[in-house]
Structures are given as C-alpha cells and as structure tokens.
Amino acid sequence: MTRRATMRRATAKDAADLAGVARATFTETFGMLYSAADLATFLEQHTPEDWAREIADPAYSVAVVEEGHIVVGYVKLGPPRLPFTPKEGAIELRQFYLLQPWQGAGMGPKMMEWALEEARARGMREMYLSVFVDNERARRFYAKYEFKDVGRYAFMVGDHEDTDIVMRRAL
C-alpha cells in the first residue's frame, strides 16, 4: 500500500491528536521494555493540554505528519533540556516519531529536513537530540544527517532508568 503522508505546522486543534500519536508511537516502539506502571507514568506527560501549551509557545516548533486528516507522526523542536549546558544558539530535536505503518515510506527525510530548516530559520547554530542506546535504526538515521555522539545520560520512564545517547550537529 502506498503511503501519501504530508507535513504541516501544528495548530492548537492538533493537540489531542498529537497526544494520542505520542502515546501510540512511544508504546509501539518501546512499550515492551517497561512495566505497565512505568509506561503509564511516562505516558501521562502526553496530554492534549501539554501539547496545546507547547504549540502556543514560540520557543517550540511542531510539525504534524498526516495522511488525509489523520495524524500519523510529528516532529517537535524546543529549548534544550538535556543534562548539559548548551551554547547559545542551540535547539533540541525533542521528538521525532512516525507510526510504524508509515516508517520506511520516505517521510523520515522530509521530517528531518523540516527540523533542520526550521532550526536554521530560527538562527540556531547547533541541534541536539537524544536516542535510546539500543535504537540502532534511529542512530543510523541520525548519523546520516551528521549527528555525532557527544555523551550519555539517564532517561527515565517511570522508575526505570535507560541510557540515552546525546547527539549533536552543527547547523
């Protein structure tokens, strides 16, 4: 089946859909790694209210990926909050997710180009992201875009501690 997803900037009307896709993509990608309690605690942070607040905040940029009028993924940029002291002019690629049926259909590069162009348009000089140490597919994807490993940190899902790799690239 051919996928014909498109991208556009998120609006407040997308908040509930983004919250649902955020929970669904995280669960299908990582849900098997955690207890039900840890996963539920983590997913509580993806509420429509939180999404609406970030969409309205000019420090964030969010793009939705949709097929027809169904949201199937998203990209979110925001102020760095990883455990390091970024230089001025840094932005974080906070989230980059597509539901599994749309993965491998060519949207990943479009999403990354949007993120890089958006960061440059904001005058940013470098972009950071974090990726689960065992997520080899994502790590290879980011390496294609010249992101380099610059450290590790503990990423918490409920009470469960994972190791994430922090990656950086100059813009």
Contact between 42 and 158 under an 8 Å Cβ cutoff? The reply is: yes
The sheet with strand 126-132 has its strands ordered as 6-9, 61-67, 70-78, 90-98, 126-132, 160-170, 148-157
pLDDT tens digits for range 66-80: 998 899 999 999 999
Maximum distance among all Cα pairs of the chain, rounded to whole angstroms? 45
Output the average pLDDT for the chain. 92
Instruction: Look at residue 139 in the predicted model and tell me its pLDDT.
Output: 96
Low-confidence spans in the chain with pLDDT less than 50: none
pLDDT by residue (tens digit) across 113-140?
A: 999 999 999 999 999 999 999 999 999 9
Confidence at residue 2, expressed as pLDDT on a 0 to 100 scale: 59
Other C-beta atoms within 10 Å of 86: how many? 17
Match domain 6-128 to its CATH number in 2.30.30.90, 2.40.160.60, 1.20.140.10, 3.40.630.30: 3.40.630.30
Please, which residues bridge with residue 70 across strands?
Answer: 67
The pLDDT of residue 71: 95
* Rounded Cα distance, 74 and 7, in Å: 8
Among 76, 81, 72, 23, CA closest to 47: 23
pLDDT at 148: 96
- Annotated domain spans of the chain: 6-128
Give the pLDDT score at 88: 85
